[in-house]
Amino acid sequence: MPYAARTAKQETVPELFGSMVFNEREMKTRLSSDVFQAAHRAIHQGTPLTREQTDAIASAMKDWALEHGATHFTHWFQPMTSVTAEKHDGFIEPGPDGTVIMEFNGKELIKGEPDASSFPSGGLRATFEARGYTAWDPSSLAFIKDRTLCIPTAFCSYDGSALDKKTPLLRSMEALVKQAMRILKLFGNTTATCVRSNVGPEQEYFLVDREMYLKRKDLRFCGRTLFGARPPKGQELEDHYFGSIKPRVTAYMEDLNRELWKLGILAKTEHNEVAPSQHELAPIYTTTNIATDHNQLMMEIMKKVARRHGLVCLLHEKPFAGVNGSGKHNNWSIATDDGVNLLSPGETPFQNAQFLLFLVAVIEAVDTYQDLLRLSVATAGNDHRLGANEAPPAVVSIFLGDELTAILEALESDSAYNAAKRTQMKLGVDVLPRFTRDSTDRNRTSPFAFTGNKFEFHMLGSSNSIACANIMLNAAVAAVLEKYADVLEDTADFNDALHDLLRDAIVSHKRIIFNGNGYDSEWIKEATQIRGLHNLRTTPDCMPKLLEPLNADMLIHQGIFTRPEIESRCEIMLENYCKSVIIEANTMIDMVHQEILPAVLAYSGSLAQTAQAKTALDLGAACGLEKKLLRDLSSLAMQIDAAVDDLEDALMQVKAAQDVLEQSALIRDLLLPRMAMLRAPADKAETLVGSGFWPYPTYGDLLFGV
Ligand code: ADP
Ligand code: MG
């Protein structure tokens, strides 16, 4: 059916779902059975394809894309910026007699060579060697967006160094498979051929009116407000969370869902969040690299669809001071290809022993590599959230729930598992107790919470690519599983060895388990002073930890990064941090000079005129209010002026820094505090200046204006 005819009628959800994806259903009808089998293996097992097979797949892909209205194709990749990249090429080739033909072959499918000199490489690629190349990831399906066939790819430099987030993610998944399979063999599993990590990311966002948005340079340039007095009503009534959804937002969500379904994204759950005009969308979980691609696409489509509704979707972690910011919950589990979730307590004690091994491995991984998890979510934006009593603190800890904690305690002390008083808690496979599956409470104050059959990593910022967190998580767990496999493969009595191994791991790493309230300041004290956990509050605090031997050696050993890649990533992340805060500081200075001071002066001028007019009418004694306001505003204007001078001064110092490490520290210690000092008198002035004079929509307008 031609494209136009297909879109004319309103399709049902099953018809719509995946209609813009070159999925296996399409492949099956368009490829010979041999080539389809090969494609299937490439998607699910990573088996390489021959040149003839890729040519056949490319040709079928092109026919499908043309039938769906595509005119261009692109290798779609995830450089070290926060967004995805694409460079479109037309399918056209010159034909006979001034005509064109539509061409696309296997070579173009598997490899691209974008001139990529302007993407961040952290020194990995000198600009004179600008070429990078993109390589097809067959496991993530091609799709059509804006009449362009998008081919998910990894992005590398010419010597094969990763310049993107997908390459190390795929490497981390491989590392995890390798080690998890060794463990499964030890437990006698002969049916699983592969292990996958699965992720379901819950995405928070704000919607604001586009007209209002356009009036604010801070939102346009930085994605967050840099000024703004608190509105009379905020989120204190908690009447927004799960509240009924406004018609304009409902229309947006419906439109968004349809666009996402067309792209094969399993958009499932939507609701209002805690802050006014804040919402959440969660898809059904899927394989990590696909979930990552889908989350990137989802963020892009969220913004695009908002435009059609006269809205803007804000994905910044902290668009409004004093109002909850937005994060992303990374629900993570590992499962075998025959469908066994390794983080799910099983039916038999034997399965439970295997479950306990994986559970303890995650605990050890999170404790040993706390700083890697922390830095995997570090951005200037997320620094505003973590530890601000709305998101987990910057201290990483694990919530397990009481029952599992009691089981681990019993294991540790070789004592009876008390709650059930059933059995001696020795991990001989035949004596481990059965325990109920969904025994955990929800704990949203915990950075890393076990929720029955998966872990929820709560620290991600709303605009973070989920690749970074999952790279570190997969790598850390792979490293611990490797250590366990090395020990267990080499023992006479598996059960005894397993028992000793788990007991020792619990003793060494139980400090990371905390079932209490993560927002409590007492906890931060206990965590840092008694338990010795890291409290890495800002990006400049945590990013250098990437280079520490314990971390770097593990990542290199697991094959996730080379040493130059690690160094480049540290550099890029700090550079991103510096650039984004410097843009904010520049925007503040611009707003103060161009808009805020002129507004204060204009309003003061009108007060002075009123006072003058009153005096001329012999009402000089009645000018008390004008005088008082004038005095207050003059004083504020002077404070603003002095503070903006100080900020400009700080900016000069920041720009003169020798390297990015020094620069990021100056930003943390000098620039950000001065930005706060400028904001305070400006926000105070906003509350005194008449609304007709104030140049921007207020917090109240923005938060309640949709
Ligand atoms: P909430 O946390 O809002 O109560 P859920 O925890 O049920 O909601 O689900 C949130 C996300 O977790 C969804 O994306 C869901 O698909 C995902 N999820 C559920 N089970 C798993 C699992 N075994 N592995 C990874 N993600 C999962
Ligand atoms: Mg959840």
> Could you identify the atom of ligand 1 that is nearest to the CA of residue 453?
23
Residue to mutate (ligand 1; options 279, 280, 358, 454; most atoms within 8 A of CB): 454
Beta strands in 355-470 (DSSP E): 398-399, 448-450, 455-461
Residue to mutate (ligand 1; options 265, 331, 451; most atoms within 8 A of CB): 331
Residue nearest atom 24 in ligand 1 by C-alpha distance: 333
Q: How far is the CA of 202 from the centre of ligand 2 (A)?
A: 7
For 308-346, write each residue's pLDDT tens digit.
Answer: 999 999 999 999 999 999 999 999 999 999 889 999 987
> Could you identify the atom of ligand 1 that is nearest to the CA of residue 335?
23
Distance CA 689, CA 692 (A): 8
For 515-562, write each residue's pLDDT tens digit.
Answer: 998 888 899 999 999 999 999 999 999 999 999 999 999 999 999 999
Q: How far is the CA of 72 from the centre of ligand 2 (A)?
A: 38
The fraction of the chain above a pLDDT of 70, given in percent, is 93
Q: How far is the CA of 444 from the centre of ligand 1 (A)?
A: 14
Question: What is the reported pTM?
Answer: 0.94
Q: How far is the CA of 331 from the centre of ligand 1 (A)?
A: 6
For 469-499, write each residue's pLDDT tens digit.
Answer: 999 999 999 999 999 999 999 898 898 899 8
Which pLDDT belongs to residue 649?
98
Distance CA 365, CA 295 (A): 25
Has residue 295 got a pLDDT over 70? yes
Q: How far is the CA of 178 from the centre of ligand 1 (A)?
A: 25
> Could you identify the atom of ligand 1 that is nearest to the CA of residue 280?
3
Which pLDDT belongs to residue 419?
45
Upper half-sphere CA count for residue 93 (Cβ side, 13 Å): 5
Distance CA 472, CA 373 (A): 6
For the record, the structure tokens of 329 come out as 């919950």
Listed in order, the ranges of the chain carrying CATH 1.20.120.1560 are 577-703
Q: Determine whether 497 is exposed, middle or buried from the number of CB atoms within 10 Å of its CB (0-12, 13-18, 19+).
A: middle
For the record, the structure tokens of 277 come out as 């005009």
For 637-660, write each residue's pLDDT tens digit.
Answer: 999 999 999 999 999 999 999 999
Beta-carbon count within 10 A of 190 CB:
7
In what helix (H) or strand (E) does residue 283 lie, and over which residues does it extend? Answer: strand 278-283
Taking each helix axis from N to C end, the angle separating 597-616 and 624-655, rounded to the nearest 10 degrees, works out to: 160
Residue type, 331: N
| DSSP code for 128 | G
Which pLDDT belongs to residue 463?
97
Neighbours of ion ligand 2 (CB under 5 A): 329
- Phi/psi for 272 (5° steps) reads -75, 145
Which pLDDT belongs to residue 430?
41
- Phi/psi for 136 (5° steps) reads -55, 135
The stretch 91-116 carries a mean pLDDT of: 89
For 497-543, the DSSP string reads HHHHHHHHHHHHHGGGB--S-TT-HHHHHIIIIIS------SHHHHG
Q: Determine whether 369 is exposed, middle or buried from the number of CB atoms within 10 Å of its CB (0-12, 13-18, 19+).
A: buried
Q: How far is the CA of 326 from the centre of ligand 2 (A)?
A: 14
Distance CA 181, CA 337 (A): 11
Residue type, 220: R
Residue to mutate (ligand 1; options 241, 285, 288, 441; most atoms within 8 A of CB): 285
Return the ligand number nearest the Cα of 457.
2
Return the ligand number nearest the Cα of 331.
1
Coil, helix or strand for 451? coil
Q: How far is the CA of 332 from the centre of ligand 1 (A)?
A: 8
Contact (CB, 8 A) for 264 and 222: no
Q: How far is the CA of 285 from the centre of ligand 1 (A)?
A: 7
Which pLDDT belongs to residue 422?
41
Residue with tokens 């998944």: 173
The number of helix segments (H) and strand segments (E) in the chain equals 26, 18
Residue nearest atom 5 in ligand 1 by C-alpha distance: 331
Beta strands in 218-262 (DSSP E): none
Fold for domain 577-703? Four Helix Bundle (Hemerythrin (Met), subunit A) (1.20.120)
Which pLDDT belongs to residue 429?
43
In what helix (H) or strand (E) does residue 45 lie, and over which residues does it extend? Answer: helix 33-45
H-type helices in 592-671, by residue range?
597-616, 624-655, 660-666
* More confident call, 158 vs 360: 360
* More confident call, 127 vs 535: 535
Q: How far is the CA of 344 from the centre of ligand 1 (A)?
A: 13
- Phi/psi for 268 (5° steps) reads -130, -55
For 322-375, the DSSP string reads TS---EEEEEEEEEETTS-BTTS--SSHHHHHHHHHHHHHHHHHHHHTHHHHHH
Which pLDDT belongs to residue 6?
47
Has residue 431 got a pLDDT over 90? no
Has residue 435 got a pLDDT over 80? no
- Phi/psi for 327 (5° steps) reads -130, -165
> Could you identify the atom of ligand 1 that is nearest to the CA of residue 341?
23
Listed in order, the ranges of the chain carrying CATH 3.10.20.70 are 13-164
Q: Of 9-18, 347-356, 415-424, where does mean pLDDT reach its minimum?
A: 415-424
Return the ligand number nearest the Cα of 203.
1
Listed in order, the ranges of the chain carrying CATH 3.30.590.10 are 172-418+430-561
Which residues, in sequence order, are CB contacts of 599 under 8 Å at separation 6+? 685, 689, 693, 694, 695
Which residues, in sequence order, are CB contacts of 70 under 8 Å at separation 6+? 91, 144, 147, 148, 149
Torsional sign, CA 692, 697, 703, 705: positive
Contact (CB, 8 A) for 556 and 566: yes
For 565-599, write each residue's pLDDT tens digit.
Answer: 999 999 999 999 999 999 999 999 999 999 999 99
> Could you identify the atom of ligand 1 that is nearest to the CA of residue 283?
14
For the record, the structure tokens of 641 come out as 């002026």
Which residues line the pocket of ligand 1, CB cutoff 6 A?
198-200, 202, 282-285, 331-333, 341, 451, 453-454
For the record, the structure tokens of 565 come out as 């890649």
Q: How far is the CA of 268 from the centre of ligand 1 (A)?
A: 11
Which pLDDT belongs to residue 159?
81
Residue with tokens 């190349």: 133
For 378-400, write each residue's pLDDT tens digit.
Answer: 999 999 999 777 788 999 999 99
Which pLDDT belongs to residue 485?
98
Instruction: Give the residue from 392, 257, 265 showing the smallest Cα distance to 329.
Output: 392
For the record, the structure tokens of 205 come out as 């966002």
For 182-236, write each residue's pLDDT tens digit.
Answer: 999 999 988 999 999 999 999 999 999 999 999 999 999 999 999 999 988 777 7
Which pLDDT belongs to residue 618?
84
Contact (CB, 8 A) for 587 and 217: yes
Q: Determine whether 403 is exposed, middle or buried from the number of CB atoms within 10 Å of its CB (0-12, 13-18, 19+).
A: middle
Question: Which of 3.40.50.720, 2.40.10.410, 3.40.190.10, 3.10.20.70 would CATH assign to domain 13-164?
Answer: 3.10.20.70
Coil, helix or strand for 67? helix
Residue nearest atom 1 in ligand 1 by C-alpha distance: 202
Report the top-level CATH class of 172-418+430-561. Answer: alpha beta
Has residue 2 got a pLDDT over 60? no
Which pLDDT belongs to residue 125?
62
| Angstrom distances, CA of residue 169 to CA of 232, 257, 465 | 45, 27, 11
3-state helix, strand, coil in the chain (%, to 5): 50, 15, 35
The stretch 669-676 carries a mean pLDDT of: 98
Contact (CB, 8 A) for 488 and 374: no
- What mean pLDDT, rounded, does the chain reach? 91
Q: How far is the CA of 397 from the centre of ligand 2 (A)?
A: 17
> Could you identify the atom of ligand 1 that is nearest to the CA of residue 331?
26
The stretch 617-625 carries a mean pLDDT of: 83
> Could you identify the atom of ligand 1 that is nearest to the CA of residue 282?
14
pLDDT bucket at 245, cuts 50 / 70 / 90: confident
Q: How far is the CA of 401 from the centre of ligand 1 (A)?
A: 17
